[in-house]
Structure 1
Amino acid sequence: MEGRRPVRLPANQPERFYRGGAAIAALRRDPSPREFGPEDWVASCTTLHGQASVGLSALPSGTLLRDAVAAHPETWLGPAHLARHGADPALLVKLLDAGQRLPVHCHPSDEFAAAHFDSRYGKTEAWIVVGAAPDATVFVGFTDDVPADTVRDWVVRQDSAAMLGALNEVPVRAGDTVFVPAGLPHAIGAGVFIVELQQPTDLSVTLEWKDFLDDEAGGHLGIGFETALGCVDRQGWSEDRLATLVRHQEEGATPVHDLFGDPARGFFRAERVQAGAELAPSFGVLVALSGTGVLQTEQAGEVPVAAGDTFVLPHAAGAATVDGDLTAIRCLPPAG
Structure 2
Amino acid sequence: MSSGVLHQPVNLPANQPKQFYRGGEAIAALRGGTSGDFGPEDWVASTTTLYGRSDAGLTTLPNGVLLRDAVQADPTGWLGADHAAKFGGDTALLVKLLDAGQRLPVHCHPSNAFASSHLNCRHGKTEAWIVVGTTGPDPTVYIGFRDDVPAETVAEWVATQNTRAMLDALNPVCVRAGDTVFVPAGVPHAIGEGVFIVELQQPTDFSVTLEWQGFLANGDIGHLGLGYDVALDCVDRQGWSGKLEELVRQTSAKWAPSVDLLGRDADPFFQADRLHVEGSFALEPSFAVLVVLEGSGQLGELEVHKGSTLVVPHAAGELALSGDLVAIRCRPPVLSAVSSMEDVTA
Alignment of 1:230-245 (within 5 A): 230-239=233-242, 241-245=243-247
- The structure 2 residue matched to 1:105, chosen from 104, 107, 114, is 107
Q: Secondary structure at the match of 1:70?
A: helix
Question: Paired residue for 1:131, among 130, 133, 136?
Answer: 133
Aligned: 1:329 with 2:333: no
1:158-206 CA-partner distances (Å, limit 9, x unpaired):
0000000000000000010000000000000000000000000000000
Correspondence 1:33-72 to 2 at 5 A = 33-72=35-74
1:280 aligns with 2:281: no
Deviates further, 136-145 or 66-75: 66-75
Shift of 1:251: 4.8
Contact persistence 1:130–1:194 (CA under 8 A): yes
Q: Does 1:12 align with 2:21?
A: no
Instruction: Identify which of 194, 197, 202 aligns with 1:199.
Output: 202
Give the letter aligned to residue 13 of structure 2. P
CA spacing shift, 1:95–1:192, aligned 2, 3 Å: same
Residue of structure 2 aligned with 1:153, choices 146, 156, 163: 156
Structure 1 stretches lacking a partner, 5+ long: 297-301
CA contact under 8 A between 1:21 and 1:97: conserved in structure 2?
yes
CA RMSD after TM alignment: 0.9
From 105, 116, 133, give the equivalent of 1:114: 116
- 2:175 aligned to 168, 172, 177, which one? 172
What's 2:271 paired with?
269
Conserved in 2, the CA contact under 8 Å of 1:274 and 1:322? no
Please give the alpha-carbon distance, in whole angstroms, between the structure 2 residues aligned to 1:47 and 1:201: 8
TM-score (norm: length of structure 1) = 0.96
CA distance in 2, matches of 1:114, 1:152: 23
Q: Does 1:27 align with 2:26?
A: no
Q: Which residue does the alignment assign to 1:224?
A: 227
SS of corresponding position for 1:325:
strand
Distance in 1 of aligned mates of 2:275 and 2:74: 28
Q: Is the deviation greater in 316-325 or in 152-161? A: 316-325
Q: Does 1:309 align with 2:311?
A: no
**1:173 alignment partner AA:** R
**Contact 1:291–1:306 under 8 Å retained in 2:** yes
Shift of 1:218: 0.8
Number of the residue aligned with 2:297: 293
2: CA distance between counterparts of 1:135 and 1:284? Answer: 33
Are 1:94 and 2:77 an aligned pair? no
- 3-state DSSP class of the match of 2:152? helix
* Aligned twin of 2:341: none
**2:321 and 2:5 mapped to 1: Cα distance?**
21
State the SS of the aligned residue for 1:260.
coil
Task: Give the residue type in structure 2 aligned to 1:322.
Answer: L
Further displaced range: 186-195 or 67-76:
67-76
Task: Report the equivalent of 2:340.
Answer: none
Larger mean CA deviation between 285-294 and 196-205 belongs to: 285-294
Given residue 185 of structure 1, which amino acid in structure 2 is its aligned partner?
A: P
Which residue of 1 is the match for residue 343 of structure 2?
none
Specify the SS of the correspondent of 1:170. Answer: strand
Tell me, in whole angstroms, the C-alpha distance in 2 between the residues paired with 1:238 and 1:40: 31
In structure 2, C-alpha distance between the alignment counterparts of 1:269 and 1:294, rounded to whole Å: 22
Identity across matched positions, percent: 62
- Letter matched to residue 196 of structure 1: E
Residue identity matched to 1:83: A
Deviating 4+ runs (over 4 angstroms): none
Distance in 1 between residues matched to 2:208 and 2:181, nearest whole Å: 19
Q: How many residues align?
A: 329
Query: Cα deviation per residue 1:8-49 (whole Å; 9 max; x = unaligned)?
Result: 00000000000000000110001x211000000000000001
| Counterpart position of 1:299 | none
Q: For residue 305 of structure 2, what is the amino acid of its counterpart?
A: A
SS at match of 1:12: coil
Q: Which residue of 1 aligns with 2:86?
A: 84
Q: Output one character per residue of 1:255-287: Cα deviation in whole Å (capped at 9) or x when no partner.
A: 111110100000000010121432210001000
Counterpart contact for 1:110–1:120, Cα < 8 Å: yes
